Amino acid sequence: MATIKDIAQAVGVSCTTVSNVIHGRAGRVSTETITLINEAIDRLGYVPNMSARALVSSSSKVIGMISHLTSNKKESIVEDPFHSAFIGSIEKTLRENGYYLMLRTVETTSDLMNFLLNWNVDGLFCTGVFQDEFFEALTNLKIPVVLIDSYVTHPNICNVGLQDYDGGYTATKYLIDKGHKDIAFASPTIRKKGVVYERFQGYKNALADASIPFRKDLVFEQELDTATTITLGTQLAARNDLTAIFATADILAAGIMSGLTQAGKRVPEDFSVIGFDDINLCQLTSPRLTTIHQDAPLKGKLAVYFLMDKLDNKPIENNEIILPIHLVERESVISL
């Protein structure tokens, strides 16, 4: 791999001159010399040492993506198609702005501090953040922080979220309008002031507005790993006291549909199913999944825009963006 010294020898200039051109400090270097240096860089395949550049500029050009998950999570965040979509959008938008993405699962405040001590990141994206000690630690950091899908607030921290309550209400009302009254709610653990909690409130209020009693025995909380979602589907297949299922994630809805099918039940003839997110998987299930749409790529892009503005010290009038939802009707719900 070529070095600055190799470039300097090829052009016949000093290493300092080459370094100045590479780092944009070429005020006293002639246009002809700059051209020769850039041609040598391309010809010899010089790649800048990012660690050395970070020491010089005090910027690593690396942004951390922190997934704050609990220890009972069985699968990586990138195995969830929804998270993969918005993480992919974040990486692409960061790359277009000259930054790199570092993805890390961090469970405790201590883990977060150790991560920041070992890696000189310029900023952080965080998912899975609630009002707790971990959040308090984030508020005291000297680098920009952007939360994704969180319901905690701080004047120095931005957030890109979603109309989660409206999504839960819309999904449930759609099932009710189709004639369903016995509607199961399936989700990961419901934690107050979180995404799932808001969707749960929408579900309950849609039932209340239709004068349908809320039944706690129709609420099912579990992890989103494939085996567990399929098992839940087989368990629901044995129930004769419900006709529809609202799952708060498409990956959960797809697993439930698979379990129902394995148990000999048909969707939507025996059980109607509606999901949430509108990932590509929705069009691969049989039948295709009716769901609540959210724009995952846009969510990632807006999160990066927030972070870039903070890094550039631009004024931010509103540090929260809430994206809209809408229903996408396919074939997994039937009218009674």
* Model confidence at 267: pLDDT above 60: yes
Q: Look up the CATH architecture of domain 164-293.
A: 3-Layer(aba) Sandwich (3.40)
The predicted model scores a pTM of 0.81
Cα–Cα distance, 85 to 95 (Å, whole number): 15
* Model confidence at 24: pLDDT above 70: no
Q: Do 62-163+297-324 and 164-293 have matching folds?
A: yes
Task: State pLDDT tens for residues 46-77.
Answer: 766 655 555 455 567 899 998 876 544 555 66
Task: State pLDDT tens for residues 201-237.
Answer: 999 999 999 999 999 999 999 888 888 999 999 999 9
Q: Residue 141's CB: how many other CB atoms inside 10 A?
A: 15
Tokens of 98: 């000259």
Q: 143, 135, 222: which is closest to 184 by C-alpha?
A: 222
CATH class, domain 62-163+297-324, is alpha beta
Cα–Cα distance, 75 to 223 (Å, whole number): 9
* Model confidence at 15: pLDDT above 50: yes
Tokens of 23: 């780092």
| Extents of the domains making up the chain | 4-48, 62-163+297-324, 164-293
Please give the share of the chain, as a percent, with pLDDT higher than 70: 91
Q: 84, 118, 107: which is closest to 277 by C-alpha?
A: 84
Q: What are the distances in angstroms from CA 276 to CA 125, 163, 245, 317, 326? A: 23, 12, 12, 30, 10
Q: Which range has the worst mean pLDDT, 17-31, 80-94, 144-158?
A: 17-31
CATH 1.10.260.40 fits 4-48, yes or no: yes
For residue 290, what is the enclosing H or E element?
A: strand 290-293
Q: Residue 213's CB: how many other CB atoms inside 10 A?
A: 7
Is pLDDT larger for residue 167 or for residue 25? 167
158-197 CB burial, b ≥16 within 10 A, e <16: bbbbbbbbbbbbbbbbbbbebebeebbbbbbebeeebbbb
Task: State pLDDT tens for residues 277-320.
Answer: 999 899 999 999 999 999 999 999 999 999 999 988 888 888 99
Give me the chain's average pLDDT, please.
89
Cα–Cα distance, 143 to 284 (Å, whole number): 41
* Model confidence at 9: pLDDT above 50: yes
For residue 118, what is the enclosing H or E element?
A: helix 109-118
Q: 315, 8, 307, 322: which is closest to 145 by C-alpha?
A: 307
Please give the pLDDT value at position 58.
59
Inter-residue contact 33 to 11 (CB < 8 Å): yes
